A and B are shown apart, each in its own frame.
Chain A
Amino acid sequence: MKIAFVVQRYGLEINGGAELHCRWVAEHMKKHAEVEVLTTRAADYISWKNHYTRDVEAINGIRVRRFPVSRTRNPERFGRLQDWLLRHEHREADELRWLDEEGPMAPGLIQFLKDSEKAYDYFFFFSYRYYHSYWGVKAVPRRSILVPTAERDPVVGLRIFQDLFRTPRAIIYNSVEERKMINDVSRNEHVPGDVVGVGTEVPGRYSGEAFRRKHSLPGPYILYLGRIDENKGCHKLFEYFVRFKRESGSEVKLVLAGSTVMQIPSHPDIVYLGFLGDEEKFDALDGAEILVMPSFYESLSMVTLEAWALGRPVLANALCDVLKGQCLRANGGLYYETYPEFRETLSLLLSSPELRRGLGDNGRRYFQANYAWDVIENKYLALLDRLEKEKGA
């Protein structure tokens, strides 16, 4: 069987959620099938500027075909158009214009899909909202499997995506909540699919102690990993944490790691470490009392799964239905909607090592049962098997 993974960007240095998700799945699926990746030459998701020069290269044993982006994105124009689109009644043509503006516009990739449809058994399209998925699924509908990685974002309700969700041969969802949302907006229950998600690569060795020593963090700390951005709920996290410190007098620190696009408040107990590599990320998780996830929109949250893989409990924003659902299903974390809930849950977690251990153990078990790589691979294989049987019938 020959399968292709179609994604907006691909490379070892690309850490974005859906792109990394795609790479990990592709690398694990190469044991079971002949795998290729079809992508663009872009490395930057803001401008989609052509960065990679080679048409074909091998990355971790997988052949990667790259197609040029014919038009870079103008973020201001795109932002204005999206704003207008979400606030006004509009036609389908306006949505298609928005899709072109969003990019990455790679007509060569779509043409390749049309020309080579028969050379592949299935195409996995990652991220529903980009040009490659919309036109790609339309180009090869009967061989396409969509991995939407959709968040509860207003654009999910655009008319063009309702068609998209009803078109592919199958859909692989990241969570129960994502499947429900997509079913609700597009009535696509007839499209076969499964909730799969993604595993994670836990390094063989990690040390919270070494991390604490390196960054002079002798006391307890809660950890936030990811982009420091208002869209990720960080402003609320800072507000709640500073208030919690003032009211409780707790010695806990908030450690932040990731790129930043907002001002971090100057507070002696808020420690910003910048971007951490994979190994150090796991050291940080190992040393943390709790991982905090303040995001309002998540499709899956790989970092939450990583915390559970290491047996660390999670404190999540309950306004994100995926995070709340994951915490309840895993019994691996508490959640908050308001400041009093944040204060109570954080106090409870910090004061009870037994609770942290219990939640962490539950999280680890949930991770092993649902997100270990053999489980993920088997779910992908079962879906392919089902599609093959349906094809033969």
Chain B
Amino acid sequence: MGQEKIEIDYDRVDVARIMDQIKERIAAEAGAEPRSSGSEAAPIPELDFTAGQGRMRRVLLKLMSPFRPLVKLLILPVDEEHRRTVLILDHTNRRLDRLIAEVERDRRVTIERLDRLREYVKLLHHLCHNLVIEMSKLKIEEEALKTKTRIMEKDFEFLGKREKALEKELLK
């Protein structure tokens, strides 16, 4: 496979280092695409347009011999074109197989990431919601405290006046 060996110090095993190496190896593998996609494509049979029954074939070839130049002229380009088309189709099939494998792999990775993101978004949503509630409550509390302070200020003022009035009465 040509994979790099994971280096481990068995006397002092370090999980973080091992995991870093594993992640690097996986990333390198993913980067080394295309892999063995050729083996996934269907094999193309060799085409032999001259194959046929032994004696019958020879008789037919003899009979046809005067027309051979004409037949060659008409058939050969078709054969060549057919061969090339098959090759192009084969190549296209291999590419398609590889692309499908890539799309499938990406799809799986994306679904996993989306699942995680969905969970994070859900948590964030709750967090935001709860923050808003908390802020609203604090605002209400602040208003109540302000009102309380105003009342206390008035009480204090009143008590001051009362104190002065009492002092006056006492000093009379």
User: Is the C-beta of A335 less than 8 angstroms from some C-beta in chain B?
Assistant: yes
User: Is the C-beta of A226 less than 8 angstroms from some C-beta in chain B?
Assistant: no
Identity of the chain A residue whose Cβ is nearest the Cβ of B27 in the assembled complex: A340
Interface contact tally, CB-CB below 8 A:
68
Please list the residues of chain B having a beta carbon within 8 angstroms of any beta carbon in chain A: 6, 8, 10-11, 13-16, 18-19, 22-23, 25-26, 29-30, 108-109, 112, 116, 122-123, 126-127, 129-130, 133-134
Contact B130 A154 (CB under 8 A): no
The verdict on A157 contacting B126 (CB below 8 Å), with A344-B22, A348-B18, A352-B8 known, is: yes
B138 CB, min distance to chain A CBs, angstroms: 12
Contact B130 A334 (CB under 8 A): no
Task: State the main secondary structure of chain B at its contact with A.
Answer: helix
The verdict on A345 contacting B14 (CB below 8 Å), with A86-B126, A157-B126, A355-B8 known, is: no
Instruction: List the one stretch of A171-179, A189-197, A302-310, A325-333 in contact with chain B.
Output: A325-333
Chain B residues contacting A352 (CB-CB under 8 Å) are 8
A308-348 residues with Cβ-Cβ distance < 8 A to B are 319, 327-328, 331-335, 337-341, 344-345, 348
Please list the residues of chain A having a beta carbon within 8 angstroms of any beta carbon in chain B: 86, 89, 92, 154, 157-159, 162, 185, 319, 327-328, 331-335, 337-341, 344-345, 348, 352, 354-355, 357-359, 362
Contact B127 A157 (CB under 8 A): yes
A80 CB, min distance to chain B CBs, angstroms: 18
New A-B contacts (6) at CB < 8 Å, excluding given A348-B6, A354-B10: A157-B123, A159-B133, A331-B14, A354-B8, A355-B8, A358-B11
B20 CB, min distance to chain A CBs, angstroms: 12
Contact B15 A344 (CB under 8 A): no
The 6 closest A-B pairs by CB, nearest first: A157-B126, A358-B13, A340-B26, A354-B10, A344-B22, A331-B15
Task: State the main secondary structure of chain A at its contact with B.
Answer: helix
* Distance between Cα atoms of A335 and B29 in the complex (Å): 19
Chain A residues contacting B108 (CB-CB under 8 Å) are 339
Identity of the chain B residue whose Cβ is nearest the Cβ of A331 in the assembled complex: B15
Chain A residues contacting B29 (CB-CB under 8 Å) are 340
Identity of the chain B residue whose Cβ is nearest the Cβ of A181 in the assembled complex: B123
Contact A338 B112 (CB under 8 A): yes
* Distance between Cα atoms of A354 and B18 in the complex (Å): 14
Chain A residues contacting B127 (CB-CB under 8 Å) are 157, 185
* Distance between Cα atoms of A340 and B3 in the complex (Å): 14
Identity of the chain A residue whose Cβ is nearest the Cβ of B25 in the assembled complex: A344
A233 CB, min distance to chain B CBs, angstroms: 12
The verdict on A319 contacting B116 (CB below 8 Å), with A334-B19, A335-B19 known, is: yes
A300 CB, min distance to chain B CBs, angstroms: 18
B60 CB, min distance to chain A CBs, angstroms: 52
Chain B residues contacting A327 (CB-CB under 8 Å) are 15
- A159, A328, A348, A357: the one within 8 Å of B130 (CB): A159
Chain A residues contacting B22 (CB-CB under 8 Å) are 334, 341, 344-345, 348
Contact A341 B126 (CB under 8 A): no
Chain B residues contacting A354 (CB-CB under 8 Å) are 8, 10
Chain A residues contacting B112 (CB-CB under 8 Å) are 337-338
B25 CB, min distance to chain A CBs, angstroms: 7
* Distance between Cα atoms of A337 and B123 in the complex (Å): 20
Q: List 6 A-B contacts (CB under 8 A).
A: A86-B122, A154-B126, A340-B30, A344-B22, A348-B18, A355-B13
Contact A341 B123 (CB under 8 A): no
Chain B residues contacting A185 (CB-CB under 8 Å) are 127, 130
* Distance between Cα atoms of A86 and B25 in the complex (Å): 40
The verdict on A328 contacting B15 (CB below 8 Å), with A157-B123, A157-B126, A341-B26 known, is: yes
Contact B122 A154 (CB under 8 A): yes
Contact B25 A359 (CB under 8 A): no
* Distance between Cα atoms of A11 and B129 in the complex (Å): 39
Chain A residues contacting B122 (CB-CB under 8 Å) are 86, 154
Contact B126 A359 (CB under 8 A): no
